[in-house]
């Protein structure tokens, strides 16, 4: 999870057209699009429904000669926190859709980039941009559409109402091994399903694990320690067996402190083509070419323990 708990507001005024379609690349199960910032680029940005606003790296700030101001620290997945500053982007453009006067956070993402082998990682696009839009994620064609108008969906699409929680993340109803809960939807999470610590403890999911206390990812707060098990997940009108699931051991950060019960990541989301209709509070989902793909446990390709900040708490 790349989710950041940010208190500051974001201002982004739309410019240009009302819709655009742009290709994306899945890099370690994360949706990466190309964007231009202040007329320069392209920059590789993760589209993350689990992050509030826009984030750029210190390298982007240096390249564009942007002014920054200290803004304290942020938390996300992992036990720790990271220093953050803020800056102002005159423009941010995805495809043909532009936004002016964008407040952006500045965060060092080099640890995540190294841990997961990103060729480039220049920033994150989150809820502050997406909240006024319909975002269509066509997994079959590797295309993302952003539109102010409603997007068409096929007759076999399931319609799922959702809410936005206090951290500006989509939440909806689901079930894991028949246990109902409230799930966050996080396209910035590489894994399939994460059980928040309080939910995993309350329903004794740790006893079902086949791997114990292993590093299952790296977030803003450092490595993410979890037990790993397989579950059956009910979501978007489908029942999906043998989903690789991690039960968090984190004592701090999003996977310990979230009020919700679980977080759905791209490992599971990519099984569906999805329209995220933020203005109407609905999600439309139908099976993609990945729907029947077997789920496998994939630890970080580069060990997070090589980082000085990754010591076990």
Pairing of strands 69-75, 134-138: unpaired
Retrieve residue 301's tokens: 């390709």
Residue 15 has pLDDT above 60, yes or no: no
Could you read off the pLDDT of 83-139 as tens digits, one per residue? 568 899 999 999 999 999 999 988 888 767 776 667 788 999 999 999 999 999 999
Residue 51 has pLDDT above 60, yes or no: yes
- Please tell me the total number of residues recorded for the chain in this structure: 313
Domains of the chain by range and CATH? 13-147 (2.40.70.10), 158-305 (2.40.70.10)
Looking up tokens 């210190």 gives: 58
Which helix (H) or strand (E) segment is 246 a member of? strand 238-248
Report the C-alpha gap between 64 and 74 in whole angstroms: 23
pTM of the model: 0.87
Range 246-259 average pLDDT = 80
Could you read off the pLDDT of 144-156 as tens digits, one per residue? 999 999 999 999 9
pLDDT at 311: 38
pLDDT at 10: 44
**67 burial class (0-12, 13-18, 19+ CB within 10 angstroms)?**
exposed
Retrieve residue 134's tokens: 């319909």
Could you read off the pLDDT of 198-229 as tens digits, one per residue? 999 999 999 999 999 998 877 665 688 899 99
């Amino acid at each position: 999870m790349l989710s950041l708990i940010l208190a500051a507001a974001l201002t982004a005024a739309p410019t240009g057209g009302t819709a655009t379609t742009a290709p994306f690349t899945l890099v370690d199960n994360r949706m990466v699009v190309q964007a231009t910032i202040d007329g320069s680029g392209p920059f590789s940005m993760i589209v993350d429904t689990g992050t509030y606003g826009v984030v750029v790296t210190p390298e982007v700030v240096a390249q564009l000669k942007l002014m920054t101001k200290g803004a304290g620290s942020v938390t996300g997945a992992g036990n720790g926190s990271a220093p953050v500053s803020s800056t102002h982007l005159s423009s941010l453009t995805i495809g043909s859709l532009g936004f002016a006067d964008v407040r952006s956070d500045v965060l060092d993402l080099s640890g995540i980039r190294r841990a997961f082998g990103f060729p480039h990682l220049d920033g994150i696009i989150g809820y502050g941009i997406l909240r006024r839009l319909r975002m269509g994620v066509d997994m079959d064609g590797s295309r993302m559409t952003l539109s102010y108008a409603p997007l068409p969906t096929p007759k076999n699409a399931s319609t799922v109402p959702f809410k936005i929680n206090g951290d500006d993340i989509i939440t909806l109803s689901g079930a894991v091994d028949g246990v109902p809960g409230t799930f966050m939807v996080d396209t910035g999470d590489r894994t399939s399903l994460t059980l928040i610590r309080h939910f995993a403890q309350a329903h004794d999911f740790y006893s079902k694990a086949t791997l114990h206390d292993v590093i299952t990812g790296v977030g803003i707060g450092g490595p993410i320690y979890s037990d790993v098990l397989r579950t059956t997940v009910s979501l978007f009108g489908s029942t999906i067996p043998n989903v690789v699931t991690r039960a968090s051991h984190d004592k701090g950060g999003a996977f310990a402190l979230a009020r919700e019960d679980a977080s759905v990541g791209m490992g599971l989301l990519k099984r569906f083509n999805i329209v995220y209709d933020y203005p109407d509070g609905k999600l439309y989902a139908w099976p993609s070419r990945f729907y029947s793909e077997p789920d496998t446990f994939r630890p970080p390709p580069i060990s997070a323990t090589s980082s000085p900040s990754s010591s076990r708490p």
